[in-house]
Amino acid sequence: MKFHTNRLQPKRFGALFLAASMLTLSACGSDSISYEPLTEEDDTVYNICIVQSEDNTELNQIQQGFQDALTDLFGENHVNVTVQVANSETSVDDINSTYTSDENTQLIFANGSSALTSAAFYTEDIPVVGAGVIDFQSALHTPDSEWDAKTGTNVTGISSRPPIAAQLSLLIEATSDLQTVGILYCPEDTDAIYQNEILEDYLDQAGIAWREYEIPSTEAAITEHETSIDTETSGSTISGDKVVANSAKEGSEIDVESIGESNVLFGLNSTNSARSAKISANWTQDINDPVSYDLGSTTEEIVNYAASQSSAFFISANSYLDDQIDTIASIANATGTTTVSADTTIASKTLVSLYVDPYNEGYSAGKLAYRILVNGDDPGSIKITGTNADDATKLYQDTIAEQFGLTFGKSFSEVDDFLSTYVPGTNTERISSEEE
């Protein structure tokens, strides 16, 4: 077993933490736009339509933030909001087809990846603001050579991707001797691959060795993440967030075809459509036998093997591994392997995690709607932004921390206490409050 003590190596920790801090600061931006709520004398009414990929807690909180921003900025009397949530009977394509055929629709808020992909397919004229989307580039099929976080089209939005540099900080702060990072993911989970590749760049800059380990997906996980995609139409079937080649970025540039499967969606969900796991250039363990497990290996076998090589495990946000986290956590805890996540679904099972308030994402998206409709800003020229590290809350699980002999300072909150008491939107700076 390789249980950690509560003593960190000062020189190594200091250097790595400085590197992570610099990366975090470089990822932050500022909102210098001025917002002025509409006056009672203004009789303009804007028709805004909301399409949501599915009914779940995260997307519902994003929607609440968006609608509260509309109330604060436009005023209840200045917006006419229509909301439709996709389900087993009504797809995002059905909803967007209706919205885009209505000449009164002035803006579509697409909440969720499939909602955004579909909305962008159905209209090139009506402004679309997206949220609940980790990778806009892939969702919109934008080639890497043309991507500068501005779409140049009728689409903009706020990314759900958590600050990756802050997760590097978590890895460093929670692991007393961080030598190697095992990155666990399902091969079909292209949002995970996208986040992993960004983290890997940061790890390379910090000189930390890493290796990816593919965990076989369960049928339930794939179904859960794909319930809102309509497999009968072209609007959202070839979803950008399911396209992977040698890298997530390269995947967004290729045309996708089913590989020996009965339909496109199933073909994209097969391992044939996902790239192979990667290993960092400075990885030294088992370098002559880099695989050491085959496609028939079980989750338990792969995670045990990964734990024998890794100081810490990283699991990305919105991971397909949420229904296998008990197995992963049990092995990690038994072997003294740190677990780091950015997914509140599995946060109580990992040593440390990062919480990003979905409400704030929706509120920020509401600001974009104001800029487009009131200020007349071009959505294609508005840079897609995400969460700053300052807006994320660092969490730890006290039972695992006690088992590892670790203590965490005031910058961390205990995960169960925090999630059971925190009200979404508590820390959001609302426009109406700013003016009072």
pLDDT at 37: 87
Inside any domain, residue 147: yes
Same domain, 99 and 153: yes
62 and 183 inside one domain: no
What's the confidence (pLDDT) of residue 68?
Answer: 97
pLDDT of 182-201, one tens digit each?
A: 999 998 888 999 999 999 99
Task: Tell me what pLDDT residue 141 has.
Answer: 84
Identify whether residues 296 and 375 lie together within a single domain: no
pLDDT at 7: 39
Which has the higher per-residue pLDDT, 118 or 263?
Answer: 118
Least confident of 221-235, 267-281, 362-376: 221-235
Residues 156 and 296 reside in one and the same domain:
no
In which domain, by residue range, is 15 found?
10-27+163-356+391-421
Which of 29-43, 99-113, 139-153, 300-314 bottoms out in mean pLDDT, i.e. has the lowest? 29-43
CA distance 72 to 192: 35
| Residue-wise pLDDT tens digits, 288-323 | 555 566 667 899 999 999 999 999 999 999 999 999
Q: Report residue 265's pLDDT band, with 50, 70 and 90 as the boundaries.
A: very low
214 and 70 assigned to the same domain: no
Could you tell me if 77 and 111 are in contact, meaning their C-beta atoms sit under 8 angstroms apart?
A: no
Instruction: Give residue 232's pLDDT.
Output: 36
The verdict on residue 41 lying in a domain is no
Structure confidence by residue, pLDDT tens digits, 85-124: 999 999 999 999 999 999 999 999 999 999 999 999 999 9
In a domain? residue 4? no
Asked if 344 and 47 touch (Cβ cutoff 8 Å), the reply is no
My answer on whether 259 and 223 are in the same domain is yes
Confidence (pLDDT) at 36: 86
In this predicted structure, what is the pLDDT of residue 310?
Answer: 96
What pLDDT shows up at residue 226?
54
| Residue 435 belongs to a domain | no
Residue with the bigger pLDDT between 111 and 8: it is 111
Is 185 found in the same domain as 133?
Answer: no
Task: Clarify whether residues 190 and 329 are in a common domain.
Answer: yes
In a domain, 412, yes or no: yes
The answer to whether residue 427 is domain-embedded is no
Contact call for residues 155 and 120 (beta carbons, < 8 A) = yes
What average pLDDT does the chain have? Answer: 83
Tell me the three state secondary structure of residue 247.
coil
Residues 325 and 406 both lie in one domain:
yes
Residue 431 predicted with pLDDT over 50 = yes
Say if residue 9's pLDDT is above 60. no
Q: Which residue has the higher pLDDT, 417 or 222?
A: 417
Q: Do residues 284 and 144 share a domain?
A: no
**What local confidence, expressed as pLDDT, does residue 251 receive?**
42
Q: Are residues 175 and 265 in the same domain?
A: yes
Residue 148 lies in a domain: yes
- Kindly report which listed range (141-145, 182-186, 201-205, 416-420) carries the lowest average pLDDT score: 141-145
CA-to-CA distance for 10 and 377, rounded, in angstroms?
49
Please state, for a pLDDT cut of 90, what percent of the chain lies above it. 66
Query: What is the rounded end-to-end Cα distance, in angstroms, of the chain?
Result: 56
What CATH number did the domain enclosing 250 receive? 3.40.50.2300
Write out the DSSP string of 352-372. Answer: EEEEE-HHHHHHHHHHHHHHH
Is 375 a residue whose pLDDT tops 70?
yes
Question: Helix (H, G, I), strand (E, B), or coil: what is residue 182?
Answer: strand
Q: How many domains, in total, are found in the chain?
A: 2
Helix (H, G, I), strand (E, B) or coil at 307: helix
pLDDT score of 369 more than 50: yes
Task: Establish if 131 belongs to a structural domain.
Answer: yes
pTM of the model: 0.84
Residues 56 and 149 in one domain: yes
Amino acid 138: pLDDT:
86
Q: What is the mean pLDDT of residues 8-16?
A: 45
